[in-house]
């Protein structure tokens, strides 16, 4: 299975997600954005595909790094190819990012699954074929009837429980919202949700990511009174000492790191340093399914849970192949958006959820993404 081609197809897709100046998603009018599908092909005709932003697989990156490592190599040697790409990052002048490693690794896993007609999680070693999802709510906003008040969060939480969710995570208000961040408002939103859903629904928060230690402590203490399951990324994750301090001063579990660089190596340091109670990984955050699994297994060796960041098939397969993760993060959700509408370039959802809150891993080969190749060709830009 020698790799002969690595190419990116860029195409138009319609979405109602808009990013604010801090990069957080919010609903807005339908608009066209560009998406890319990376395809890796072997001499015997096998293909693997994975999706990302076009910049992540721009021609410069593919030609200067990815093809140099992959072309002519055995597509089954994911571990060696990942290690070689990871080593190239040091001398890439920050051009070769973890996101590129992730999309390449995912396409190689997809290729293996398609070639063997097996879902990726079964190749890894399946642990479960369904998992409870928590509804991951978008950051707060100032939209009338959106997520502008604590009562808005409470009403939306009721809607999510009716849909079947057994867990809900709030992303609260952050700049550029004019008056954010505000710990008291965060706690009012969390209290409104707890009041709305009752004591049995599991609740978590993913707060403003740059609170001071004292603000993060006040937030955590307030959440303990509301019976929340975890507090996530309330301070800059570059300060591991602050997280060690917070974990030592709170009873509510501290989850991280999500966005800190360093892949599974840095997450091992968080465990060793006692900087969190529940570890965190994510295929895009650590550079692929391959390092995400390394993180999961390392956490398991320390008796720790490791919660996986993000939706999409790639993260769902990591969750389905591991024991020490309680949830699948399904989102991001908002009252103005219908998550179950999916994407126009996929014929069906990669993470269908039943009325009891379980996401079922599609039994399709590879990552199981039901790709509409005709749509991609008809909307292709390059
Ligand atoms: O910071 C963001 O863009 C969002 O909060 C996103 O990362 C969200 O998926 C998250 O933090 N989940 O835990
Ligand atoms: Mg988060």
**Tens digit of pLDDT for each residue in 235-246?**
999 999 999 999
- The 8-class DSSP code of residue 253 comes to P
Nearest CA to ligand 1 atom 11: 206
Structure tokens that stand for 181 in this block: 């961040």
pLDDT of residue 363: 95
Largest CA distance in the chain: 60
Nearest atom in ligand 1 to 311's CA: 9
Three-state DSSP class for residue 110: helix
Q: State the ipTM, two decimals.
A: 0.93
Query: If the chain, 382 residues long, is cut into consecutive pieces of 10 residues, what is the mean pLDDT of each piece?
Result: 98 98 96 98 98 98 98 98 98 98 99 98 98 98 97 98 98 97 98 98 98 98 98 98 98 98 98 98 98 98 98 98 98 98 98 98 98 98 92
Q: Which ligand is nearest to the CA of 234?
A: 2
Beta strands across the sheet bearing 47-52: 3-19, 25-42, 47-52
Measure the CA–CA gap between 110 and 108, rounded to whole angstroms: 5
pLDDT of residue 33: 98
Measure the CA–CA gap between 269 and 275, rounded to whole angstroms: 8
For residue 23, report the distance from its CA to the centre of ligand 1, in Å: 9
284 close to ligand 1 (CB < 6 Angstrom): no
Measure the CA–CA gap between 278 and 255, rounded to whole angstroms: 5
Measure the CA–CA gap between 38 and 377, rounded to whole angstroms: 13
For residue 170, report the distance from its CA to the centre of ligand 1, in Å: 10
| Complete domains list, the chain, with CATH | 2-117+373-379 (3.30.390.10), 123-360 (3.20.20.120)
pLDDT of residue 130: 98
Measure the CA–CA gap between 191 and 154, rounded to whole angstroms: 8
324 close to ligand 1 (CB < 6 Angstrom): no
Q: Which helix (H) or strand (E) holds 241?
A: helix 240-249
């Amino acid at each position: 299975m020698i790799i002969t081609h690595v190419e990116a197809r860029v195409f138009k897709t319609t979405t109602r997600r808009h990013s604010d100046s801090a990069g957080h998603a919010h609903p807005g009018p339908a608009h066209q954005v560009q998406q890319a599908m990376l395809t890796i092909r072997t001499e015997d005709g096998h293909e693997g595909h994975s999706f990302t932003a076009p910049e992540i697989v721009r021609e410069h990156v593919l030609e200067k790094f990815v093809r140099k490592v992959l072309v002519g190599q055995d597509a089954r040697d994911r571990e060696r190819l990942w290690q070689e790409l990871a080593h190239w990052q040091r001398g890439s002048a920050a051009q070769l990012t973890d996101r590129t490693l992730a999309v390449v690794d995912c396409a190689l896993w997809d290729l293996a699954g398609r070639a063997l007609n097996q879902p990726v999680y079964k190749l890894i070693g399946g642990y479960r074929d369904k998992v409870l999802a928590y509804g991951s709510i978008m950051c707060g906003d100032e939209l009338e009837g959106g997520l502008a008040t604590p009562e808005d969060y409470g009403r939306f939480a009721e809607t999510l429980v009716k849909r079947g969710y057994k867990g809900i995570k709030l992303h609260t208000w952050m700049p550029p919202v004019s008056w954010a961040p505000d710990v008291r408002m965060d706690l009012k939103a969390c209290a409104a949700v707890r009041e709305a859903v009752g004591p049995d629904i599991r609740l978590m928060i993913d707060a403003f990511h740059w609170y001071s230690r004292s603000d993060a402590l006040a937030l955590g203490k307030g959440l303990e009174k509301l019976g929340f399951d975890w507090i996530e990324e309330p301070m800059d994750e570059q300060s591991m000492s602050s997280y060690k301090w917070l974990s030592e001063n709170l009873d509510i579990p501290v989850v991280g790191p999500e966005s800190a660089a360093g892949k599974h190596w840095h997450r091992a340091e968080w465990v060793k340093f006692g900087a969190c109670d529940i570890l965190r990984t994510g295929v895009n955050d650590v550079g692929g399914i391959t390092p995400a699994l390394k993180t999961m297994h390392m956490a398991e060796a320390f008796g720790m849970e490791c919660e996986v960041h993000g939706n999409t098939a790639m993260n769902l397969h990591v969750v389905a192949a591991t024991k020490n993760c309680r949830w699948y993060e399904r989102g991001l959700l908002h009252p103005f958006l219908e998550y179950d509408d999916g994407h126009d370039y996929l014929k069906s959802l990669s993470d269908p959820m039943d009325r009891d809150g379980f996401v079922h891993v599609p039994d399709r080969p590879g990552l199981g993404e039901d790709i509409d190749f005709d749509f991609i060709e008809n909307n292709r830009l390059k």
